[in-house]
Amino acid sequence: MRRKITFYDIYIFVATMLSLSIWGSTGNGLSGLIVFGFFWLIGIPFRASAWATSRLNSRPCPVCGVRVRNGETQCGSCGTDFRLQ
């Protein structure tokens, strides 16, 4: 099963590219690290809300433990059918 690209993946990619760009233009690794840390700190509330939303809208599979969204009748990882339980 392929992993879906989320907004957070794109956000971290852009933050990393911007940090590397600043690092390359200034020649100082500390400035790139500071910019990356700044973007990482700004993203904390968004990551926390995405984590809470995904936890509230899913449940663990009783067989393999992979989180399955509410309303789905079959685990995508192991194929357990929840309708039989």
Q: Domain map of the chain by residue range?
A: 7-84
Beta bridge pairs of residue 59: 68
**pTM for this one?**
0.53
Band of residue 1 on the pLDDT scale cut at 50, 70, 90: low
Q: Rounded to an integer, what distance in angstroms lies between the CA atom of residue 6 and that of residue 79?
A: 24
- The mean pLDDT value for 55-68 works out to 85
With beta carbons less than 8 A apart as the criterion, state whether 54 and 67 touch: yes
With beta carbons less than 8 A apart as the criterion, state whether 57 and 70 touch: yes
Read off the pLDDT of residues 8-46 as tens digits, 9 standing for 90 and up: 888 888 888 888 888 888 877 788 888 888 888 988 888
Nearest to 60 by CA among 35, 82, 34, 45: 82
